[in-house]
Amino acid sequence: MLKPYQKAQVTFDLVKEIGTDGRNSRTFVSRDHQLDAEIVIKQIAKGKLASPANFFDESKALYASAHPNVVPIHYACEDDDFIYLAMPYYRKGSVKGLITGRHLSVRRIVTLGAQVLTGLHNIHSKRLIHFDVKPDNILLTDREEALLSDFGQAKQMNFSGKAIQDRPYTPMVPPEFTKSDQFDVTYDIYQFGLTLYRMCNGNEVFYRQLAKYGPPSSFDRETFRFDLRTGRFPDRKVFPAHIPAKLRKIIRTCLEPDPSARYGSALEVSNALADIDGEILDWHFVQTPDTSTWTKNENGTSYELTLKLDGTSEFYRSVSGGQRRRIMEGCRPSLSDKDVQRLLGSY
């Protein structure tokens, strides 16, 4: 048997910090001397890990989960104080950045969601539970395809399909965490549903609901846990009008407080997403303090529906950049949320 070769070394420069999870790691854009390439280095403090046996758990999970919708790993190495994971650098950032300060079309939400589910199904088939599905951990390629990343929380399932997790990210934790420490893949399904919820509503709506429990230093944990168990957080009734009923139902099913009432696999969620279609897919939503506006361009015909704060609405159509003409059924003194949904689904 050959002896381990321990004289090899790699050299890289940590150029710019781009992220920290606040617990045991920092992330940097780096320059790798051997590859002569710009990469990402995740630096993990050894002192924050349970034991030397855990030092390369994340790199092993990433390597085992190789898939077109999972971030690949170039290599892993160590020095006296840190573990280093080398990965590609994705300049487009994450879904978190994509949904901060703006809303996505339903088609974009469904496409990204389906890509994440493909990666999630792959890691579940390798008997891993991710335990940290959230917008921050969904990176975007240059073609803006979604890749599941950050396997720092991932755990191998036992013979009964469960894994222990005791270090959750509180805002994305499922209700069952309040009464157990062993979970199955429905933990990831809940977090995926909450990620879809944030993609539909934007980050601001999510953080505004979270803020009512107070800042991290005085977070009202008991009220938060009660609201999780009773399905009050997040508010399942809050959606912009262009989010169709089928997508709302999928999200609510993923977010069921009882894990047995959720979808049982990523594949089930993916099949449900594939059933979403219709005219409402391509509307783009912009909200200001005074107006809610939906726009769409289809084969040179542009539509614009604006709902004002006083409830009045205006609906216009123009062809090939020509004069705007009113669509009278959308120009009313009062337009309900259901009326908006009906109009968006008809044009």
**Domains of the chain and CATH, by start:** 12-88 (3.30.200.20), 95-277 (1.10.510.10), 280-344 (no CATH)
Closest CA to 173 of 108, 123, 233: 233
pLDDT in tens, the chain (347 residues): 666 666 667 888 999 998 755 567 889 999 999 889 999 999 988 887 776 667 788 888 888 888 999 999 999 988 888 989 999 999 999 999 999 999 999 999 999 999 999 999 999 999 999 999 999 999 999 999 999 998 888 999 999 999 998 777 788 999 999 888 899 999 999 999 999 999 999 999 999 999 999 998 899 999 999 999 999 999 999 999 999 999 999 999 999 999 999 999 999 999 999 999 888 899 999 999 999 999 999 999 999 999 998 889 999 999 998 899 999 999 999 988 889 999 999 89
Closest CA to 140 of 149, 152, 131: 149
The enclosing H or E element of 198 equals: helix 186-201
The answer to whether 225 touches 178, Cβ cutoff 8 Å, is: yes
The answer to whether 272 touches 305, Cβ cutoff 8 Å, is: no
Q: Which two tokens stand for residue 109?
A: 């939400």
Q: Which two tokens stand for residue 103?
A: 């809303």
Q: What does the chain come to in residues?
A: 347
Q: If phi over 0 gives left and psi between -120 and 50 gives alpha, with beta otherwise, what is residue 199?
A: alpha
The answer to whether 316 touches 215, Cβ cutoff 8 Å, is: no
pTM equals 0.92
User: Inter-axis angle of helices 106-125 and 245-254, to 10 degrees?
Assistant: 30
The answer to whether 25 touches 85, Cβ cutoff 8 Å, is: no
Expressed in angstroms, the distance from the first to the final Cα of the chain is 70
Q: Which two tokens stand for residue 37?
A: 């390439």
